Chains A and B, each alone.
Chain A
Amino acid sequence: MSGHRRLDSLAALTDAELVDRARQGEQAAFESLFHRHQDRVYTIALGMLGNPEDSKDVVQETFLRAYRRLASLNGEQGVLAYLCKTASNASIDLLRKRKGARSVSIDDFDESLLAAWPGQRPDQAGDQLAMRRALETALASLSEEHRIVVVMHHIAGLPVDEIAAELRLPVGTVKSRLGRGREALRRKLPMFGDKEDA
């Protein structure tokens, strides 16, 4: 069976089944898991870091950690939740390192994020695409502290208390940043809001 056909046949399996096969040494099963979840992991990393190169490293690190922990990964929700949490943690680690190395102005950071964010995709059309593009731009223009909690909560699916623990912040601060981040998004998205609110 060719590699592509093999992956196609594995695509019908659940995460738990793929993990089980990967545990037994079937590398194609792990590759199938990778292709299934790489976009989510990459979106979390890019959303938090704003740098495609660092985001690729986070994807690699996340899946390597998952591979090493195959024995303890379980359940349908378990795999994606583990990947999202690991990607968030790896991104936070990288942000901390980066801040230790040099101070980054939020304005500079956001500018680089805007440049890094994927641009036009002429092959797709419709409102959904317009919404997605607008969301990309709006997310990229959020301040770092708001963007990180918005990405961790909505894209990584982490609950507020877990985000607070990872970021070493009080739960109330995370809630307030989340609320302000969403309100900022609403102001930045052209299709939403009474613009006189802003």
Chain B
Amino acid sequence: MPETSLPQACIRIREAVAELSRGDSLVTPPEVLRAHLEACESCSRFWLDMRQISLSLDDFLITAPSELYPNVRRSLPRRSKTAGVRLVLAFALLTLAMALMAWSWKTFIAPSTDMPPVTPGGAPGDSTDKADKLASNTPPAGTCTTKQAE
């Protein structure tokens, strides 16, 4: 029977079958659908065929070509398990380098530019000479300065 010349009842039932296979709620009452399917061989076959086609489509798979993964792997952004460890290590190295630089500065560069320390007890070199000069300019004990006389 050509589909266009199907009775109206069959057309409605086939629409109901389509609704069912989409998981839509039925407009046609289920008992009407059942009664029609039991009575109409053509619609009953339609129902079974549509069900089988839906099931076959749900399971339908084509085997993908085997060479696909290497291309995907090459395009993956790098994501490493040890990324965190590497970060900590890099930070530790940076800290170490900075500490080394600070130590080098203090040990080798800073002493040559700083003023030498003046020790109260006198020390060899410049500091002693300066102390001697200071001592020779100091007035003898008992002599008063102008201010003191006033």
Contacts and interface: CB of A to CB of B under 8 A. Distances in A.
Q: Do A and B bind each other?
A: yes
A135 B79 CA distance: 41
29 contacts: A25-B79, A25-B83, A30-B76, A38-B64, A39-B61, A39-B62, A39-B63, A42-B62, A42-B64, A47-B62, A59-B68, A59-B72, A60-B71, A132-B56, A135-B60, A150-B57, A153-B22, A154-B60, A160-B22, A175-B24, A182-B21, A186-B46, A186-B50, A189-B53, A194-B42, A196-B1, A197-B1, A197-B2, A198-B3
Contacts of A132: 56, 60
Interface residues of A, number: 52
Interface string A44-64: 001100001000100110011
B58 interface: yes
Given A25-B81, A178-B22, A193-B46, A31 B73 contact: yes
B37 interface: no
Nearest to B76: A67
A34 B69 contact: yes
Interface of A: 24-27, 30-31, 34-35, 38-43, 46-47, 52, 56, 59-60, 63-64, 67-68, 117-118, 131-132, 135-136, 139, 150, 153-155, 157, 159-160, 175, 178-179, 182-183, 185-186, 189, 192-194, 196-198
Which 4 interchain pairs have the tightest Cβ spacing?
Answer: A42-B64, A154-B57, A25-B81, A179-B18
A41 B64 contact: yes
B75 interface: yes
A99 B117 CA distance: 86
Given A41-B64, A117-B62, 10 more contacts: A25-B83, A39-B64, A42-B63, A59-B64, A132-B60, A135-B56, A154-B58, A186-B50, A194-B1, A197-B46
A64 B79 CA distance: 13
Interface SS, B side: helix
Interface in B88-118: none
Contacts of A41: 64
B29 interface: no
B43 to A, nearest CB: 10
A40 B75 CA distance: 21
A135 B50 CA distance: 13
Contacts of B142: none
A197 B3 contact: yes
A43 B62 contact: yes
B49 interface: yes
B57 A155 contact: yes
Contact of B45 (A30, A38, A139, A193): A193
A24 B46 contact: no
Contacts of B15: 179
B77 interface: yes
Contacts of B1: 194, 196-197
B127 interface: no
Interface in B6-64: 15, 18, 21-24, 42, 45-46, 49-50, 52-54, 56-58, 60-64
A182 B20 CA distance: 13
Nearest to A179: B18
A146 B21 CA distance: 16
Nearest to B83: A25
